[in-house]
Amino acid sequence: MRWRFVAVLLGALCVIPAVARADSFDPVSFGVHVSTLGDGITLERPLLFDLSARVTTGWLSQSSLRNYDNNPWSSTFHENNVLVAMDWRPYGGRWRLSGGLLLGGDHVDKVAQSVGSNYFLNGNAYPVANAGLVSARVTFAQPAVYLGFGGGTGILKGLTIAFDAGIVVRNGTLSTNATGPLQASAQFENDLAATAAQFRTRLVQPVIGVGLVYRP
């Protein structure tokens, strides 16, 4: 459903009629980028001489290992998103100020790693055989707010290297799960919740990206 919405939006950007002189506008530009929000494609449509609409897609999966209550947890940040932004270029220059909304199913999966034959949750040891797979997920609400700035410089006729920097403000919800019989234990559930409460659910995420854009 989300990708159907994106396809419609991309098509709409291509057919938005000009509202001023035709020579005030460039045609639709497109490109590819790498970013801390993920790698993907970019499509931009000028609306006024100093204002344009931009849609970017992002896909990225990155993993790390952290300790909580002296127990290691693997953490994988899955990013699969679409940014819909408006870019304002003061005086029609190359620099732009951007604001937009980030849509998608970005989330973080965390899985507890055993220490010997136990998990340690909130300072208490629980046998792996009884706890099973212990995991948590932080799901970020959408849309998230994006604020940033950027610019670009031409390298060949029609080709521009563009960059962006900014922040995304995220607010997430936390859920936990265990597959073993200990999931019915109130103490185990309380200790799991106490450990999971250390996971970050509210983020101000820095955004840095660079891309190659073609403007016909």
Q: What is the pLDDT of residues 99-119, one digit of tens each?
A: 999 999 999 999 999 999 999
pLDDT band, residue 24 (cuts 50/70/90): very low
Q: What is the pTM of this model?
A: 0.81
Please list, in sequence order, all residues whose beta carbon lies within 8 angstroms of the beta carbon of residue 156, skipping any fewer than 6 positions away. Answer: none
Among 14-18, 77-81, 123-127, 146-150, the minimum mean pLDDT is found in 14-18
36-73: per-residue pLDDT in tens? 999 999 999 999 889 999 999 999 999 999 999 999 99
Name the one residue in this structure whose structure tokens are 């940033």. 148
Work out the pLDDT band at 141, boundaries 50, 70, 90.
Answer: confident
Q: Which amino acid appears at position 169 of this protein? A: V
Q: How confident is the model at residue 152 (pLDDT cuts 50, 70, 90)?
A: confident
Average pLDDT for residues 132-140, to the nearest whole number?
97
Cα angle: 57, vertex 29, 157; to 5 degrees:
130
Confidence class of residue 26 from pLDDT cuts 50, 70 and 90? low
Give the CATH number of domain 2-214.
2.40.160
Mean pLDDT estimate for the chain: 88
Measured between alpha carbons, how far is 155 from 40 in angstroms, rounded to an integer?
Answer: 21
Quick count: other Cβ atoms within 10 Å of Cβ 1?
5
